Amino acid sequence: MSIIEVQSLRKDYSTAAALRGVDLVIEKGQWVSIIGPSGSGKTTLLNIIGGLDHPTDGKVFVKGTDINALSEDELSVFRRENIGFVFQQSHLIPYLDATENVMLAQYFHSLPDRKEAEEALKRVGLGHRLTHRPSQLSGGEQQRVCIARALINNPSILLADEPTGNLDRTNTRNVLELLRRLHQEEHFTVVMVTHDPYVTEWAERVIKMEDGRIITDESVSG
């Protein structure tokens, strides 16, 4: 059953076209990696799927909803109910500690719950870093906080834009192992943009993009 469906998607910027007619269907629970060189349109595609950006043309259905037909406020509500984001930069609020950063996502979704937020951090292996501020955490730890924050409201889709882009190989593996475990436990759909072939090895399906188009779309066996 498809959870994301993209039809003839175009995105034009004033200087160039970022997407030139992309069609894509992602099944529920899949782990999809989108790989491609810089400027290939992979982040633009991810942002449009997540409702962070609007396409110039084409349609995006997420869980059967045409998200481009939603108003800005409806799109915000749709995002908080269904989608979790992990970015390359952690984008953590500097004056909040790890737990509070997770609670911020709860605040916009429903009600902040410190205990639940702490549990989420413990699940990503940060039980000893609950009251640490982002500046007191390593890059890998910051990304773990982001994963906990992205998953705290039980989204059905996790969109990750180069989540290991700033990490060394060891931390990259740790973050990916963590994501794989959570993915297996909670069965959410993962769409991960990367330019690192190593990261694509963890996916069930790898989509290669170039110059705003999908070049290859391959399923990867175990």
Distance, in Å, from the CA atom of 161 to the CA atom of 158, rounded to the nearest integer, reads 10
Binding mask 159-198 for other proteins (x = CB under 8 A): ----------------------------------------
Nearer to other proteins, 136 or 219 (CB): 136
| Near other proteins by CB under 8 A: residue from 1, 14, 15, 115 | 115
Residue 142 burial by Cβ neighbours in a 10 Å radius (0-12, 13-18, 19+): buried
CB of 220 to other proteins, least distance (A): 28
Instruction: Find the radius of gyration of the CA atoms of the chain.
Output: 17
| Near other proteins by CB under 8 A: residue from 42, 79, 129, 183 | 79
Q: Which residue's structure tokens are 């399923």?
A: 219
DSSP 10-35: EEE-SS-EEEEEEEEEEETT-EEEEE
Tokens of 108: 């916009």
Determine, following the binding rule CB under 8 A, whether residue 107 of this chain makes contact with other proteins. yes
Distance, in Å, from the CA atom of 183 to the CA atom of 86, rounded to the nearest integer, reads 14
| Near other proteins by CB under 8 A: residue from 8, 56, 76, 138 | 76
CB of 94 to other proteins, least distance (A): 7
Nearer to other proteins, 100 or 141 (CB): 100
Nearer to other proteins, 83 or 179 (CB): 83
Distance, in Å, from the CA atom of 99 to the CA atom of 132, rounded to the nearest integer, reads 8
Determine, following the binding rule CB under 8 A, whether residue 15 of this chain makes contact with other proteins. no
Neighbours of 67 (CB within 10 A): 23
Determine, following the binding rule CB under 8 A, whether residue 69 of this chain makes contact with other proteins. no
Determine which helix (DSSP H) or strand (DSSP E) holds 179, and give its type and residue range.
Answer: helix 169-186
Nearer to other proteins, 116 or 196 (CB): 116
Residues of this chain that interact with other proteins (CB under 8 A) are: 47, 50, 52-54, 72-73, 76-81, 83, 85, 87, 89, 91, 93-96, 100, 103-105, 107-109, 111-115, 149
